Structure 1
Amino acid sequence: MPDAGALAGTLVAALLAGGVREVVLAPGSRSAPLALVLWAADRRGALRLHVRIDERGAGFLALGLAKASGRPVAVVTTSGTAVANLHPAVLEAWHSHVPLVVVSADRPAALRWTGANQTTHQQGLFTSHVRGSATVAEAGSAAYEVGRLLAAATGVRSRLPGPVHLDVELDDPLVPDPDALEGPLPEVVLTDVRPAGPSAPLTLDPGLRTVVVVGDAPPVLGRTWAARAAEASVPLLGEASSNARSGPAAFSTYRLLLTGLAADVERVVVVGHPTLSRPVSWLLARTDVELVVVTPYADWPDPGRSATTVTDDVALPVPGAVERDWFARWRTAEESTRARLDALLAGWPGLTGPEVAQVVLASLGESDALLVGSSNPVRDLDLAPVGPEGPPVYANRGLAGIDGLVSTAVGIAWGSGSPVTALLGDLTLLHDASGLVVGPLEPRPDVRLVVVNDDGGSIFTTLEQGAPAHARSFERVFATPQGVRLEGLAQAAGLPYRLVTTAEDLRHALAVPPAGIELVEVRLDRSRGRELDEALRGLVG
């Protein structure tokens, strides 16, 4: 009979040998040997263990850890529905190229299809959304499979990092001898998998009116392109989570400016994963421009199916007369549009989402980190002024969902070692309300949740279904107001809470760094959201 304790020990030793230093555990019965070995490894300082009761939140916590650290992070569950609850985080990791390692405990294969408790066919659960999968039932094959899956998760050979799934069949007895937990883990040596070499940068020809579009991107990549665009005098259109919105080439009102300038664009260089605005989507779908996609991965974003070239890297040309004149047009348009935008927001009755985003961003420095939620918060942040290099900005833009953001913020705080401010909507908070619950035996990082509460899905007010013709159905089937008292939610989770209603109150609330997990509620009125959106789009043209 396979020894469950030996299998768990070898598996954890292999994870450590492969560079895993953070593990998230959602406890259960079948995963007991893994839980106990991980607990012992945490006590010895070999890894850091995070324990959560909700598997969906555990998956997003692991996602945030991996996103911020750039290293593979494991999430361990028991068998049955527990594993399926990881699927949202697996999907986001797949589309964001994040090395998430799912380790699911399982019953022995002989128990499948017998009606045994908490037993199902787990092996193919994530088949189309993992880079690799394996099943292990004995210690002898564990190290090989872990090494193979870690290579797939990091994309060291494939250039396609992403989630992987290791299903671990564990048989009774499940609880190792307590004395065995005090001993060292087995010696494990993994195969040395060397990375594939990069190709030389593609040199772009001068003389074309070029823009660089940077979508969601890691901090190092975004900042590299901010510097490159500035040196080459190329307008940089950086989305809110691009980490490229700094320096003289970044234009804060780019999505408004495209109304008048898009027609004159001759070449677009795409970096990261752009997802935010229709003007950018229309630009990237044009067939009359040269579209160069720069990606470190083996796949690339091209929703308009119009890419001319896909390459590892490019060298922007030395600016000449065409480039300097083109850049000057963007700079002039940016200055006038920025002034009109600021005047519009200053004169708008009541606090607005873009103002909240500006205040939040202005309160943070380079040693902080910002997580921005999907829907309106990320689009509001996309209109914030460009300033000096600010905090690293993170977002779950792989699939742009609103689930798991509280847990992701906690993961980013642990993975980056920085205090995190998360700018979220009220429905986003409610989607991951269980992420607020951190047990008294678990340490709490410094995370401030700034929740823009307009009681519903205000982004829909700006879309077609928000038109007056759909007013009768809008509130029930799109806005979905919940009327939840966030103060009571914070109190139930034992979190400090503060309500703000003005920009000045918000600045005061953000002036002190967060201590532990805390919630700041900003109440907004969404009744004029469509009117504000139309006014913003009317600033140019």
Structure 2
Amino acid sequence: MTTSRRPFREFDDSHDVESLRLARRVIRGLTMSMRHIVLAPGSRSAPMAYALREAEELGAITVHVRIDERSAAFTALGIALATKRPAGVVTTSGTAAGNLLPAMMEADLSGVPLVAITADRPEELHGTGANQTAWQQGMFAGRVRDEIHLEQGEARLEPESRDDMLAAETQVGLLLRVATGSSPGPVHLNIGFRDPLVPAEPGAKHQQGAQRWARTPFVPRRVSGSGSAEQLRAEIIGGEILGARTVNLPAAGAGERAAQIRTQGEPETQAPSQPPATDAAESAPQLEPRRTVFVMGAEAPAEARELARRLGHPLLAEPSSDARWSDLGAIQGYRLILQAPEGSPASELAGSIERVVVAGRPTLTRPVQQLINRADVEAVQYAPGGEAWFDHRLARRRLVDLPSTALFAGVAPAGWQDAWTERGLAAQRLIDAALTEQETLAQGELSSVRVAQFVAETVKTPLLLGSSSVIRDVDLAAVLNRSVLESEPGQRTRAADDGGRRVYAMRGLAGIDGNLSAASGIALARNTRVTALVGDLTFLHDVNALLVPATEREPDLDIVVVNDSGGAIFDQLEHGAVGRREGQAETVERFFGTPQTVDIEALADAYGHEYHFADDLETLGEGLSGLEDRIGIRIIEVRTDRTILRDFHARLRAAAEDL
């Protein structure tokens, strides 16, 4: 005899309105793996707001409120970027949901688990001309890893069992699993709420907040077949990589020695006549000597950096790769080497490259892209977990494991690393000298490159680099580990581990929107002060990030604004050359330079934030010091002249003839 299954209840809120009951189940599903959520106010999303307040009171989640939806989305993106865990943004219906698109696009190509939670009008209001009603299902199609729609009245509120796959909270939990799966990225949860949207009046038997908001995840965490990055890193350091083969990598500093590769032996139950493993190792092939470089782009896997070091190959590392901190292998001034004039020693060195291993996503300079696409160079993409942006039609193929990457890269020939290190140090001396010369010619006036170099090398906090010129200036000129290199060898430590320093950047689509909001999210997630280094247009494009409701915790954030009154990057592109043609200067300045005259001090005062003006490096250093004495948002403005940059870069390239 069988009995019908009854609803499985962990709490009873049957007295309340259905919209609140659905919102509670959604949040229970979210809190299985989410710790932060950003809410933008709205009426249709009101059930989520009330339920979130209950969950926050019980310590299940931290809620941040922002008025502007685009800023809210990028704040959540910054939180997810810093924590590597899903972070959510809640909006009402209509254009509010549409304002999430830029952050969702960035999260898609950056592989960030951003969760868009959009309230929707119920299905019966669609197609009736009802206010703020738009078709939101599928609105982020092609940008998200997955999406679900929950319609009030159809979503199951009372699960049949603890792991009922049709229950609303279970569906939400599974959606978050997708967001953090083998190919992390954004997901979309759309919820159709019906009136009433406010809690019912509590009755005599109702105890508000009595429900249990969080419980143990119902799906066991999947173990990746290739292992975690931490596991792989441990295996590299230990000298072997487990998989189809075992690779014995050379010890640090022994790049000229070939690494041996042997086929894994049979199980211990093999027949006694089986040759011993040592015989197989002796007859195994050696790694070929190769003149290989590792190009480290944004969010490059750490194990690729360690592999390059073990094989003795140089690193060409962008600032947000987290590979610029090491005092072993990261090449200073690499961009200048790659664009050195033909016939120079640096050009000959770059021209001798045979193979390139790309890790992460390099996006900053054309010289790097030209290297990767050279006809005489073989290039591969190391991407063990896949990359959202990677197209298999690219000339370079994707490698998913370290053994095959080691086989491709080979071992560095004698002197390969030393040659790159020597050229890199010479390039850095040229860059530093050119910046000093520029200050002399400009009679002490700062250039944006010098400001970027100083800030990146000085700050003791996590650093977010704004898109456009700023991050490229840091990439060109900054030695992020300069203090480490200048210390005694016995005292050298990885600077990134000292105080949690790390460089962040949004390189998925590299837009100038949302940079300040993302920095705010990083500060909130890490519970520490963060520095954002941005240009003036990037700052103004996200000025709503300064609008923090009075009820909310203000992020501890220093915003260094390099104010050159417009868009400096276009002068470094081909448009700068067009602007020097007769009769074209005004056109290029109007349509590309977009000059602005905003009073940033007045803007800071209007939002109620502290302001500091720096007219030299000494006052800039003063503005960046005293971290323990500052709370909240502080804006540090440095004014520079963008018209001098093209001549500076031209002089620098000319100086590279003897590099």
- Deviation of 1:276 (Å): 0.4
Q: Given the alignment, which residue of 100, 105, 126 partners 1:91?
A: 105
Take 2:596 and 2:448, find their aligned partners in 1: how far apart are those partners? 19
1:441 partner letter: T
Q: Given the alignment, which residue of 588, 591, 614 partners 1:500?
A: 614
- Deviation of 1:232 (Å): 3.0
Take 2:94 and 2:411, find their aligned partners in 1: how far apart are those partners? 64
SS of 1:507's equivalent in the other structure is helix
Change (3 A) 1:170 1:386: closer
Q: Given the alignment, which residue of 634, 641, 644 partners 1:525?
A: 641
Consecutive unaligned residues in structure 1, runs of 5 or more:
none
Take 2:214 and 2:479, find their aligned partners in 1: how far apart are those partners? 53
Q: Given the alignment, which residue of 381, 391, 400 partners 1:311?
A: 400
Q: Given the alignment, which residue of 320, 333, 358 partners 1:241?
A: 320
Q: Which residue of structure 2 lines up, in the alignment, with residue 356 of structure 1?
A: 451
- Deviation of 1:217 (Å): 1.0
Q: Given the alignment, which residue of 347, 358, 367 partners 2:437?
A: 347
- Deviation of 1:321 (Å): 9.0
Q: Deviation string for 1:336-381 (max 9, x for gaps)?
A: 221111111012122112211222122223xx21000011100011
Change (3 A) 1:523 1:201: farther
- Deviation of 1:417 (Å): 2.5
Q: Which 4+ residue blocks in structure 1 deviate beyond 6 angstroms? A: 317-321
RMSD: 2.3
SS of 1:402's equivalent in the other structure is coil
In terms of mean alpha carbon deviation, does 197-206 or 393-402 score higher?
197-206
Q: Does 1:152 pair with 2:175? A: no
Q: Does 1:208 pair with 2:290? A: yes
Q: Given the alignment, which residue of 460, 465, 476 partners 1:372?
A: 465
- Deviation of 1:107 (Å): 0.9
Q: Given the alignment, which residue of 34, 40, 64 partners 2:78?
A: 64
SS of 2:415's equivalent in the other structure is helix
In terms of mean alpha carbon deviation, does 83-92 or 119-128 score higher?
119-128
Take 1:281 and 1:490, find their aligned partners in 2: how far apart are those partners? 39
Take 1:192 and 1:168, find their aligned partners in 2: how far apart are those partners? 26
Take 2:214 and 2:480, find their aligned partners in 1: how far apart are those partners? 51
Q: Deviation string for 1:122-171 (max 9, x for gaps)?
A: 0021011111111102441412321231121112xxx2111111100110
Change (3 A) 1:162 1:178: farther
Take 1:508 and 1:491, find their aligned partners in 2: how far apart are those partners? 20
- Deviation of 1:524 (Å): 0.3
Q: Which residue of structure 2 lines up, in the alignment, with residue 40 of structure 1?
A: 54
- Deviation of 1:193 (Å): 4.8
Q: Which residue of structure 2 lines up, in the alignment, with residue 475 of structure 1?
A: 589
Q: Deviation string for 1:33-83 (max 9, x for gaps)?
A: 100110121122111000000000000000000000000011100011100
SS of 1:276's equivalent in the other structure is coil
Take 1:187 and 1:334, find their aligned partners in 2: how far apart are those partners? 53
Q: Does 1:282 pair with 2:398? A: no
Counterpart contact for 1:62–1:73, Cα < 8 Å: yes
Counterpart contact for 2:457–2:479, Cα < 8 Å: no
Paired residue total = 532
Take 1:153 and 1:529, find their aligned partners in 2: how far apart are those partners? 42
2:508 partner letter: G
2:134 partner letter: T
2:358 partner letter: V
Take 2:412 and 2:381, find their aligned partners in 1: how far apart are those partners? 22
- Deviation of 1:317 (Å): 7.6
1:122 partner letter: Q
In terms of mean alpha carbon deviation, does 481-490 or 299-308 score higher?
299-308
Q: Which residue of structure 2 lines up, in the alignment, with residue 55 of structure 1?
A: 69
Change (3 A) 1:345 1:45: same
The residue correspondences of 1:508-519 to structure 2 (distance < 5 A) are 508-513=622-627, 514-519=630-635
Q: Which residue of structure 2 lines up, in the alignment, with residue 336 of structure 1?
A: 426
TM-score (structure 2 length as normaliser) = 0.77
Counterpart contact for 1:454–1:524, Cα < 8 Å: yes
Q: Given the alignment, which residue of 165, 168, 172 partners 2:191?
A: 168
The residue correspondences of 1:182-261 to structure 2 (distance < 5 A) are 182-185=209-212, 190-198=218-226, 200=243, 205-217=287-299, 221-222=301-302, 224-246=303-325, 247-259=327-339, 260=347, 261=349
Counterpart contact for 1:422–1:447, Cα < 8 Å: yes
SS of 2:357's equivalent in the other structure is strand
In terms of mean alpha carbon deviation, does 97-106 or 389-398 score higher?
389-398
Consecutive unaligned residues in structure 2, runs of 5 or more:
1-15, 157-166, 228-242, 248-258, 260-286, 340-346, 485-494
Q: From the CA coordinates, give the structure whose radius of gyration is larger.
A: 2
Q: Which residue of structure 2 lines up, in the alignment, with residue 31 of structure 1?
A: 45
Q: Which residue of structure 2 lines up, in the alignment, with residue 535 of structure 1?
A: 651
- Deviation of 1:318 (Å): 13
TM-score (structure 1 length as normaliser) = 0.93
Take 2:370 and 2:214, find their aligned partners in 1: how far apart are those partners? 55
Counterpart contact for 1:214–1:272, Cα < 8 Å: yes
Counterpart contact for 2:434–2:648, Cα < 8 Å: no
Take 2:176 and 2:331, find their aligned partners in 1: how far apart are those partners? 39
Counterpart contact for 1:285–1:305, Cα < 8 Å: no
In terms of mean alpha carbon deviation, does 227-236 or 335-344 score higher?
227-236
